[in-house]
């Protein structure tokens, strides 16, 4: 039999590095987190070739003595756990694996000087072997340099990507950690270029807007909500300010950047009826809760967490986001399309008028005497009518805005364009409203207030219960979720080890194939840990009802009807966007109107 032996220390470190250090961005994440835990007020990051050649992290934290430096490079040695209460972790790091793992797969240089010490100390480790040690000149703090990552492990080196891809991953890591700590000044240099230069103490909203997008500050709402021991803060973009991918959703738990399916599903549920299915919200959410209610020791990379009461956390996030978006109320993302604005500013030109005019002039005998100058004939008038087309809008005589009407956010209706768009005059600009999109949102909110959600989810009993055969693990998931699904009108029970018996379907989905529905819900449970799909389908039915029951484009409205629509929009939450995530109104400020006519 093969002999059982204890693995050498350097090989153990390399095996551990496979979990902790996947690529340069993984090492960078660990080093920046160590700098934050050391109490640094300023952190500088330098990359060469996306971290493939070298990456360096410098901080002004507490620093380490030579003995502490030697101990820090041993496995499972950490200053983050003063006792054995691992459920009370309050720091970003705590496992004591990062530094020895990185040092075992790269050339690792550690320099540090504690506050008050006369000089610093340097220790160099090349792929697990200590190669140099001695005094070092540096200000109080710590400097760590990682070079030639996986240089002596070609099997790992060949799986690294291009410098551009590795740089993008490193930039994302720095952005997320910088967002979590707006009180820390962070700089990022790539080669000779300064990529980020963030000052400390600028506030959460400003830091998020600086990193994600500057438009988010004006097209988002701040969140501040507490319930029990949980607190939710951050910035959530308006539904009309969205992206095609979910890369701009930043989620944090107790200041730790995470990628958690439950949190992602909660965000999707909160925006369910305000975004198109292929669009994603832009936000940065910070969830703080007692450390004993969350397990951060799930994975060595510490990017996954587990909650003790997952349902309470999800409900808190969904209600918090919806409440914030309701108070961000009737706004929509106000960023007029640049091409559309350009057409406003350009002069109208008709390309086909010149040939027509040429044909008139070419058919005239210019040699004959002309007794007088007469009015243009019918052909000319025909061209004039073609060029100067009749306006396609309808307006009524404008009445002066009274003092009490002047404060209406959406102004007072002045007319209707193309029987689709309401033109309103506000105190500070011109408002255009899409009457169908606006009324669609209002009808949906009325249906909800009237309890239509319960009517849509009412049970429709099947004449013959349907037996759906699935894998045993799928049946286990569906059985656990059965009470929740019963509240949505889907009644089912276990029917043997690998089958489910469906007794009723939601009334709105009565014609759905039970087998296909259960398989889709099972996939949703496996992916998100919760059945979000059925609720979304019922929301879609409700949204369709609202769409068909709302004012259609092309319908002529009286001024009183237009004003009534505007006033109800001002009272209704989330009226800034329709059920598909499109804006219901846009505003052109008086300053912009004056610019169009050259008055500014």
Interacting residues of 170 by C-beta distance below 8 A, sequence separation 6+: 24, 25, 28, 45, 47, 50, 51, 55
Total residues belonging to the chain: 600
The Cα 522–Cα 515 span in angstroms is 11
CA dist 215 → 218, 222, 235, 333, 433 (Å): 6, 14, 12, 9, 22
pLDDT (average), residues 240-248: 82
Looking at residue 270, its pLDDT comes to 85
The Cα 112–Cα 525 span in angstroms is 48
Contact 92, 33 (CB under 8 A): yes
The Cα 562–Cα 565 span in angstroms is 5
Contact 565, 559 (CB under 8 A): no
Q: Would you kindly state where each structural domain of the chain is located, as residue ranges?
A: 9-83+92-198, 208-327, 329-340+395-600
Contact 11, 34 (CB under 8 A): no
Contact 142, 38 (CB under 8 A): yes
The Cα 591–Cα 343 span in angstroms is 18
Enumerate the β-bridge partners of residue 500: 468, 494
DSSP single-letter state for residue 414 = E
Render pLDDT for 131-171 as a digit per residue (tens, 0 to 9): 999 999 999 999 999 999 998 888 888 889 899 999 999 99
Burial class (CB in 10 A: 0-12, 13-18, 19+), 42: middle
Residue 329: pLDDT over 60 = no
* Listed residue (467, 521, 519, 444) closest to 489, CA to CA: 521
Higher pLDDT, 89 or 393: 89
Residue 405: pLDDT over 70 = no
Q: What angle do CA 458, 462, 468 make, to 5 degrees?
A: 110
Strand pairing class (421-426; 412-417): antiparallel
Looking at residue 583, its pLDDT comes to 83
Higher pLDDT, 330 or 111: 111
The Cα 69–Cα 146 span in angstroms is 16
Higher pLDDT, 490 or 404: 490
HSE toward the beta carbon, residue 18, CA cutoff 13 A: 8
CA dist 567 → 52, 419, 421, 561, 584 (Å): 59, 19, 16, 10, 14
Render pLDDT for 362-395 as a digit per residue (tens, 0 to 9): 444 444 454 444 444 444 444 344 444 444 455 5
Mean pLDDT of the chain: 80
Render pLDDT for 430-484 as a digit per residue (tens, 0 to 9): 889 998 888 888 887 777 776 666 666 677 889 899 999 999 988 988 998 888 8
Q: Which CATH superfamily is domain 329-340+395-600 in?
A: MutL, C-terminal domain, regulatory subdomain (3.30.1370.100)
The reply to whether CATH 3.30.230.10 applies to domain 208-327 is yes
Enumerate the β-bridge partners of residue 249: 283
Class of domain 9-83+92-198: alpha beta
Looking at residue 251, its pLDDT comes to 93
Looking at residue 359, its pLDDT comes to 44
Of the pLDDT bands very low, low, confident and very high (cuts 50, 70, 90), residue 347 is very low
Q: Which two tokens stand for residue 221?
A: 């709402």
CA dist 177 → 43, 54, 301, 330, 583 (Å): 11, 20, 14, 32, 33
Looking at residue 340, its pLDDT comes to 53
Looking at residue 145, its pLDDT comes to 97
């Amino acid at each position: 039999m093969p002999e059982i032996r204890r693995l050498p220390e350097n090989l153990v470190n390399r095996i551990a590095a496979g979990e902790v250090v996947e690529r340069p961005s993984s090492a960078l994440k660990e080093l920046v987190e160590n700098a934050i835990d050391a109490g640094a007020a300023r952190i500088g990051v330098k990359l060469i070739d996306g971290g493939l050649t070298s990456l360096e992290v410098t901080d002004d934290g507490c620093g380490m003595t030579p003995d502490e430096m030697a101990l820090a490079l041993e496995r499972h040695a950490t200053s983050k756990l003063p006792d054995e209460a691992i459920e009370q972790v309050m720091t970003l790091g705590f496992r004591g694996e990062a530094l020895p793992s990185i040092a075992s797969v790269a050339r690792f240089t550690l320099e540090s000087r504690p506050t008050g010490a006369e000089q610093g100390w340097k220790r160099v480790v090349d792929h697990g072997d200590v190669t140099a040690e001695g005094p070092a000149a540096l200000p109080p703090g710590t400097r760590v340099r990682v070079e030639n990552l996986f240089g002596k492990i070609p099997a790992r080196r060949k799986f690294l990507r291009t410098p551009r891809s590795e740089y993008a991953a490193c930039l994302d890591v720095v952005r997320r950690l910088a967002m979590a700590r707006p009180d820390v000044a962070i700089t990022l240099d790539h080669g000779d270029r300064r990529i980020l230069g963030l000052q400390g103490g600028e506030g959460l909203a400003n830091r998020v807007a600086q990193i994600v997008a500057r438009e988010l500050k004006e097209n988002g709402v701040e969140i501040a909500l507490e319930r029990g021991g949980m607190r939710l803060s951050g910035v959530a973009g308006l539904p009309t300010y969205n992206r095609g991918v979910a890369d701009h959703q930043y989620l944090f738990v107790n200041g730790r950047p995470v990628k958690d399916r439950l949190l992602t599903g909660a965000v999707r549920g909160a925006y369910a009826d305000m975004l198109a299915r292929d669009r994603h919200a832009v936000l940065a959410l910070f969830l703080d809760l007692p450390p004993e209610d969350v397990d951060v020791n799930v994975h060595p990379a510490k990017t996954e967490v587990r909650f003790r009461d997952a349902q309470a956390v999800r409900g808190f996030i969904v209600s918090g986001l919806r409440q914030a978006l309701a108070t961000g109320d009737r706004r929509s993302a106000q960023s007029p399309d640049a091409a559309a604005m350009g057409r406003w500013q350009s002069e109208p030109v008709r390309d086909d008028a010149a040939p027509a005019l040429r044909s008139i002039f070419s058919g005239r005998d210019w040699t004959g005497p002309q007794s007088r100058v007469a009015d243009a004939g019918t052909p000319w008038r025909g061209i004039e009518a073609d060029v100067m087309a009749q306006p396609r809008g309808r307006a009524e005589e404008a009445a002066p805005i009274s003092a009490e009407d002047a404060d209406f956010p959406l102004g007072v209706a002045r007319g209707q364009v193309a029987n689709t768009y309401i033109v309103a005059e506000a105190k500070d600009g011109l408002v255009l409203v899409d009457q169908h999109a606006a009324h669609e949102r209002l009808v949906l909110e009325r249906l909800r207030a009237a309890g239509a959600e319960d009517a849509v989810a009412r049970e429709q009993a099947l004449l013959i219960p349907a037996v759906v055969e699935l894998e045993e693990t799928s049946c286990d998931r569906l059985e656990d979720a059965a009470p929740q699904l019963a509240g949505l009108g889907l009644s089912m029970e276990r029917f043997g080890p690998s089958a489910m018996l469906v007794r009723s379907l939601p009334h709105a989905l009565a014609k759905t194939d039970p087998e296909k529905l259960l398989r889709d819900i099972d996939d949703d449970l496996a992916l998100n840990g919760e059945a979000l799909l059925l609720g979304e389908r019922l929301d879609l039915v409700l949204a369709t009802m609202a769409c068909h029951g709302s004012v259609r484009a092309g319908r002529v409205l009286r001024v009183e009807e237009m004003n009534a629509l505007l006033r109800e929009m001002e009272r209704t939450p989330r009226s800034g966007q329709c059920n598909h995530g499109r804006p219901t109104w846009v505003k052109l400020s008086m300053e912009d109107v004056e610019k169009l006519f050259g008055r500014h």
